[in-house]
Amino acid sequence: MKFRIRPLDTLFFRDGKPFSMGEDSWADGVFPPYPPALFGALRTWYIFHHPALFSQVAIDESEGIVIQSVQYRLPAGRHLPMPLDLVEPEEKKEAEINEEEREKEYRVIKLVLDENAGALSNHPLPGLLLPPETVEIKSLEDGLISHEGDFENYLRGNLQEVKVRRIKDCAQIEPKIGIGRDDHTNTASDSMLYRVGMRRTTDFEILTEVSLPDSYKKKQGPSLLKFGAEGKFVSFEEPKGREYAIGVSKDTIALKPGAFKIYLSTPAIFKEGWVPNLAQFGIKAELVAAAIGKPVHIGGFDMVKRKPKPMYKAVPAGSVYYYHTKESPDVILEKLQGKSFSDLLKEQGFGIAYVGNF
């Protein structure tokens, strides 16, 4: 089943760093939200629509929800986190920079795999991802690549340069100042002033496809749910029309033999640090290069046990892995396309990946 989540107000999602009013004055946030926030909203929606409203049966059944895909919809169509082997040229002409700021589209180029770079390095993999020729580059934060054409061309291996969008242009930071309140007197507490960076979205929607428990009975019409740390409302409904199609079909990509790459559309938690375990899918392959970002910290608070959840380091969305293999392309697509590569919390939507050519 597909869902369309449309913000009706500002939103705020905490990152994994500890925050205490009185000790810290600024609470860091993330956007788009990590999978646990989305998973929690889906469970709330399911429990609310269950015939046995808020019963233990409804709560237990909601644990059977599985997130299968997550994308973002802008006025220009569906988007995914930009692959991290796409980078921004350091030097751009002033006219191009002005045009990018006006159109909110930013030119990025694709790194090239070099397995014979001959560089002296403690890099653990045999290949390096290098810019073409002598172009100086820099990473582009919070990039989004269009699913319609661009991302599919990227997976086919036909994309060398593309224009992407950025989260900052469709979800601007709007600071909010608050103060802690005494539970007994309902007056402001001393030394409890804090500030958070709310996100004010513009024509931004979260699209997700999920597997629901077998006992689910379809409900019609949209719902209003509280979403995020500040409990602001979003519209939660089933979308209609082809423009809300989600995911990438294995039939879309003609995978070439001998090599493939894996792109993570959501963060992934691996037991081996930053390396996926392909053995869980019965695939033998050699990792030759990777483009991964800084780890993100996944935590939270357990409302039932009344204590913090375990903190995990996750590989960020957009990370890309390059492999050599002797496996058949059809086997790779059948076993890997659209699957979760995360070793933990698969059901929450961690590690949803897509396979393509170099």
pLDDT grade, residue 20 (50/70/90)? Answer: low
**Per-residue pLDDT tens for 293-315?**
899 999 887 777 888 888 899 99
What is the rounded average pLDDT of the residues 180-195? 72
pLDDT grade, residue 52 (50/70/90)? Answer: confident
> Do residues 254 and 287 share a domain?
yes
Q: What one-character-per-residue DSSP string does 170-225 give?
A: HEEEEEEEEEEE-TTT-SEEEEEEEEEEEEEESS-EEEEEEEPPTT-----S-EEE
Widest CA span in the chain: 70
Domain carrying residue 38: 2-75+170-244
> Do residues 181 and 255 share a domain?
no
**Per-residue pLDDT tens for 193-215?**
777 889 999 999 999 999 998 77
> Do residues 179 and 56 share a domain?
yes
**Per-residue pLDDT tens for 318-334?**
999 999 999 999 999 99
Q: Which of 212, 244, 276 is the C-terminal boundary of a domain?
A: 244
Number of domains in the chain: 2
Assigned domain for 145 exists: no
Q: At residue 54, does pLDDT exceed 90?
A: no
Assigned domain for 103 exists: no
> Do residues 204 and 280 share a domain?
no
**Per-residue pLDDT tens for 87-130?**
999 989 999 999 999 999 999 999 999 887 666 677 788 888 98
Assigned domain for 190 exists: yes
pTM of the model: 0.90
